[in-house]
């Protein structure tokens, strides 16, 4: 069979775009198939529009404390509709930019949903119909189809929003119930609260952000509650009733919450619908496509990267996996991705960022006696005049035997920016003595990291 493409990429999101452009730069003939908008989750309905909403949602508090800095503002009003429309405009600009970049890199964009017809061929469908003229053949195929939000299995779940829907609203109602305690639930609870919405957040466990350093998640929790977000622990959703704009969410404990909208932020799952993996012989591990350290599936010329592999579901990870695949297969530069030291942030308010092992993981791995924890908890100088706002928490986890920093964590202003830089030090194997030798930059929040005793 003829193989006109060296590579067919399924999905033009973070991983697929990065892989397609890198493979083309190595001289490969590449087609990328996208059923929705080029840019994928991060650009269209994830990181980018989310962070823009975070920026917008920070203003209300800044305006509230402005008088303590001598700035008198009257008649300030929040118009979430304007913010949402501006965010969508920026998303449109980035979508066009990514389409343009594909053309500039010589990657052929095929619009439609890809579906395997054999291990080397993909049919493309548009509006539910397969375009027979567009069966693509490729020597290599990369599956980069990402994930989708997962709704809980409760009656009326379809009445709730998932994160995708949040960006398409024209305004937000006065009262919203957020279900979940992970990244998306915490980020949107804070965005909505910042935009003046009354937020009730239902958490099925007893704390937010499971899997993060416990002390840090408690600091976020205290900060969010301090702002007025109504956190309800031990609450499981049971049913959703009503109509758009006028909903009642009942919980298994018998509570009923009336609200204008419900955000179901209850996790994401790999999006495998319509891929017809059987025709390619690709096997699944549970709900994800499992790959080896070279991003290869059980079929040697079929690879997968990003959220569909459900490893670390973050944009920079998907991008690096895509590029490592392309460098290895088409660039004669074999390399594997290091998934061990991936910094991450929750853009909640207060913000949390982290790199390396949590205190709990360090103790599990090395034992309590070998782990020393340094922490600083304080109100930052930015809060001195307003006399309000959550406290910062900075934390270093150190291996007593080697003095190496195992984890560096922070809740507070600019946490993500600070931890991004700290992650370089950790990747280089920094010790506590290295941090201590570093002169503090004063007055900053992060200087505490180099003065902890």
Ligand X SMILES: Cc1cc2nc3c(=O)[nH]c(=O)nc-3n(C[C@H](O)[C@H](O)[C@H](O)COP(=O)(O)OP(=O)(O)OC[C@H]3O[C@@H](n4cnc5c(N)ncnc54)[C@H](O)[C@@H]3O)c2cc1C
Ligand Y SMILES: NC(=O)c1ccc[n+]([C@@H]2O[C@H](COP(=O)([O-])OP(=O)(O)OC[C@H]3O[C@@H](n4cnc5c(N)ncnc54)[C@H](O)[C@@H]3O)[C@@H](O)[C@H]2O)c1
Q: Which residues would be at the binding site for ligand X (CB under 6 A)? A: 10-16, 33-36, 40-42, 46-47, 50, 113-114, 144-146, 163, 184, 271, 274-275, 306-308, 313-316, 318
DSSP class of 38: T
Smallest separation (angstroms) from ligand X to the CB of 14: 4
Smallest separation (angstroms) from ligand Y to the CB of 237: 6
How far from chain centre, in Å, is Cα 263? 16
114 is in an annotated binding site: yes
367 is in an annotated binding site: no
Q: Sign of the C-alpha dihedral, residues 349, 354, 359, 360? A: positive
Bridge partners for 404 per DSSP: 431
- Determine if 43 is a binding residue for ligand Y (CB under 6 A): no
**Residue selected from 181, 396, 426, 445 as contacting ligand Y according to rule CB under 6 A:** 181
- Determine if 446 is a binding residue for ligand Y (CB under 6 A): no
From 150, 339, 414, 442, active-site residue: 442
Smallest separation (angstroms) from ligand X to the CB of 54: 9
Smallest separation (angstroms) from ligand X to the CB of 440: 29
- Determine if 347 is a binding residue for ligand Y (CB under 6 A): yes
- Determine if 346 is a binding residue for ligand Y (CB under 6 A): yes
Contacts of 31 (CB under 8 A, 6+ apart): 5, 7, 8, 9, 107, 108, 109, 110, 136, 138
User: What radius of gyration, in Å, describes the C-alpha atoms of the chain?
Assistant: 24
Per-residue burial over 343-375, b if 16 or more Cβ lie within 10 Å, else e, is bbbbbbbbbbbbbbbbbbbbbeebeeeebebbe
Identify which range of 5-13, 81-89, 176-184, 398-406 contacts ligand Y by CB under 6 A.
176-184
Contact partner at residue 412 from ligand Y, ligand X, none, CB < 5 to 8 Å by partner kind: none
51 is in an annotated binding site: yes
- Determine if 314 is a binding residue for ligand Y (CB under 6 A): yes
Smallest separation (angstroms) from ligand X to the CB of 304: 9
Contact partner at residue 181 from ligand X, ligand Y, none, CB < 5 to 8 Å by partner kind: ligand Y
Q: Which is nearer to ligand Y, 84 or 345 (CB)?
A: 345
Contacts of 82 (CB under 8 A, 6+ apart): none
Identify which range of 183-191, 272-280, 325-333, 394-402 contacts ligand Y by CB under 6 A.
183-191
Q: Which two tokens stand for residue 352?
A: 């949390």
180 is in an annotated binding site: yes
**Spatial distance between the Cα atoms of 108 and 325, rounded to a whole number of angstroms:** 19
DSSP track, 264-333: E---EEE--TT--HHHHTPPEETTEE---TTSB-SSTTEEE-GGGG-SS--HHHHHHHHHHHHHHHHSS-
Identify which range of 32-40, 133-141, 184-192, 432-440 contacts ligand Y by CB under 6 A.
184-192
Among this protein's residues, is 301 annotated catalytic? no
267 is in an annotated binding site: yes
**Residue selected from 105, 171, 218, 236 as contacting ligand Y according to rule CB under 6 A:** 236
186 is in an annotated binding site: yes
Smallest separation (angstroms) from ligand X to the CB of 163: 4
Q: Which is nearer to ligand Y, 119 or 152 (CB)?
A: 152
- Determine if 204 is a binding residue for ligand Y (CB under 6 A): yes
184 is in an annotated binding site: yes
- Determine if 182 is a binding residue for ligand Y (CB under 6 A): yes
Strand order in the sheet with 352-356: 344-346, 352-356, 405-411, 392-399, 371-378
Reduced to 3 states (helix: H, G, I; strand: E, B; else coil), residue 99 is: helix
Residue entry with tokens 């890198």: 22
Residue entry with tokens 């024209």: 170
Name the nearest CA neighbour of 191 among 41, 345, 86, 83. 83
Within 10 angstroms of residue 416's Cβ, the number of other Cβ atoms is 17
- Determine if 345 is a binding residue for ligand Y (CB under 6 A): yes
Contact partner at residue 146 from ligand Y, ligand X, none, CB < 5 to 8 Å by partner kind: ligand X
Contacts of 245 (CB under 8 A, 6+ apart): 173, 260, 261
- Determine if 11 is a binding residue for ligand Y (CB under 6 A): no
Taking CB under 6 A as the criterion, which residues in 152-171 touch ligand Y?
Answer: 152
Q: Is the peptide bond before 106 cis (omega within 30 degrees of 0)?
A: no
**Spatial distance between the Cα atoms of 131 and 143, rounded to a whole number of angstroms:** 20
Reduced to 3 states (helix: H, G, I; strand: E, B; else coil), residue 185 is: helix
Smallest separation (angstroms) from ligand X to the CB of 167: 8
Asked if 44 and 36 touch (Cβ cutoff 8 Å), the reply is: yes
Mask 48-77, x = binds ligand Y (CB under 6 A)? ------------------------------
State the residues that interact with ligand Y by CB under 6 A. 152, 179-185, 187, 204, 236-237, 265-268, 313-314, 344-347
Residues forming the active site:
442
- Binding region: 51, 114, 180-187, 267, 307
- Binding region for FAD: 51, 114, 307
């Amino acid at each position: 069979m003829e193989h006109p493409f060296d590579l067919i990429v399924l999905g033009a999101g973070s991983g697929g775009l990065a892989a397609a452009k890198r493979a083309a730069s190595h001289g490969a003939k590449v087609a990328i198939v996208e059923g929705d908008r080029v840019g994928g989750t991060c650009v269209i309905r994830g990181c980018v529009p989310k962070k823009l909403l975070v920026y917008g949602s920070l203003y209300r508090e800044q305006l509230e404390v402005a008088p303590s800095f001598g700035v008198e503002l009257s008649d300030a009003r929040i118009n979430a509709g304007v913010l949402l429309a501006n965010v969508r405009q920026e998303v449109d600009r980035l979508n066009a930019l990514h389409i343009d970049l594909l053309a500039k890199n010589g990657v052929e964009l095929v619009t439609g949903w890809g579906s395997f017809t054999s291990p080397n061929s993909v049919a493309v469908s548009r509006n539910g119909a397969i375009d027979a003229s567009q069966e693509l053949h490729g020597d290599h195929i990369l599956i980069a189809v990402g994930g989708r939000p997962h709704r809980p299995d409760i009656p009326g779940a379809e009445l709730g929003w998932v994160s995708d829907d949040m960006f398409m609203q024209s305004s937000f109602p006065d009262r919203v119930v957020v279900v979940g305690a992970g990244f998306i639930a915490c980020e949107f609870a804070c965005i909505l609260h910042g935009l003046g919405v009354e937020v009730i957040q239902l958490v099925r466990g007893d704390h937010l952000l499971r899997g993060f350093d416990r002390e840090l998640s408690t600091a976020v929790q205290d900060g969010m509650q301090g702002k007025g977000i109504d956190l309800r622990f031990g609450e499981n959703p049971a049913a959703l009733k009503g109509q758009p704009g006028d909903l009642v969410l009942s919980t298994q404990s018998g509570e009923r919450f009336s609200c204008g909208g419900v955000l179901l932020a209850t996790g994401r799952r790999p999006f495998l619908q319509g891929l017809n993996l059987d025709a390619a012989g690709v096997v699944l591990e549970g709900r994800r496509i499992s790959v080896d350290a070279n991003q290869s599936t059980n079929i040697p010329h079929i690879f997968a990267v990003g959220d569909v592999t459900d490893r670390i579901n973050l944009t920079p990870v998907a991008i690096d996996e895509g590029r490592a695949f392309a460098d290895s297969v088409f660039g004669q530069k074999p390399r594997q991705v290091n998934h061990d030291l991936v910094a991450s942030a929750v853009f909640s308010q207060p913000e949390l960022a982290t790199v390396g092992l949590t205190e709990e993981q360090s103790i599990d791995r090395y034992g309590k006696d070998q782990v020393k924890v340094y922490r600083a908890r304080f109100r930052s100088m930015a809060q001195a005049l307003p006399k309000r706002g959550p406290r910062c928490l900075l934390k270093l986890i150190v291996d007593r035997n080697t003095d190496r920093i195992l984890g560096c964590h922070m809740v507070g202003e600019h946490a993500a920016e600070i931890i991004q830089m700290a992650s370089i030090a950790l990747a280089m194997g920094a010790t506590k003595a290295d941090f201590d030798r570093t002169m503090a930059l004063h007055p900053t929040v992060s200087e505490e990291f180099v003065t902890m005793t």
